[in-house]
Amino acid sequence: MVDLSAYKGIVFDMDGTLIDSMGAHIDAWKATCEAFGYPFDADYMYGLGGVPTRNTVKILNEKFGVSHSPDEVAQFKRNAWLKLDHTPELIAETIAVFHHYRPSLKIGIGTGAERRHAEQLLDHHGLLSQIDALVTASDVTHGKPHPETFLTVAQKIGVEPADCVVFEDTEIGLQAAKSAGMDCILVQAGKIQR
């Protein structure tokens, strides 16, 4: 078990870190990119994991010189994801950390997902009632890599940012954690990097 005795709070990213949902999101982005004429690159899209959907659309618009409506593209992507009828599983290594430290440390989740989606997914796995705070794309002005998501989680769980550790699966999430003044442990392909 990873030693987190130096911390008072843990902040988990959700998709790809606590819940194995990134594959379905990439499939939904593939369908969305094809529908809107964006060149699709799975690795690039994975790297944008944690960025709220509307912000991802803005990034894609800028990258490819187009001006699709962020709301329209985000709705299409959400519908594409729902059509997959995919219920993602928990990631064993991070959920073990979650349960091991739940009695002694404050735990929050900071995700680029919309609130309704995050609540449904966390509730499905019985985690929603076990966390001290949930901060989603619906709750912040600036998504990752901006530190607002993680700073808001720290505020809600009542722990100073320097006393929090973040578990993340993307470089953008790592940047957000570092900008928030928090240590960060990367999770890659479901494995905690030590």
Domain edges within the chain: 9-21+89-192, 22-83
- Spatial separation of the C-alpha atoms in residues 139 and 161, rounded to whole Å: 18
pLDDT at 81: 87
State residue 140's pLDDT score: 96
Tokens of 179: 């900008």
pLDDT lower than 50: segments of the chain? none
Whether 140 and 152 have beta carbons less than 8 Å apart is answered as yes
pLDDT at position 2, please?
Answer: 96
The CATH superfamily holding the domain 9-21+89-192 is HAD superfamily/HAD-like (3.40.50.1000)
So what's the pLDDT on residue 150?
A: 98
Q: What local confidence, expressed as pLDDT, does residue 194 receive?
A: 75
pLDDT at residue 85 in the model: 74
Provide CATH code, domain 22-83: 1.10.150
Are domains 9-21+89-192 and 22-83 of this chain identical in fold? no
pLDDT at 26: 92
The set of catalytic residues is 13
In this prediction the pTM is 0.84
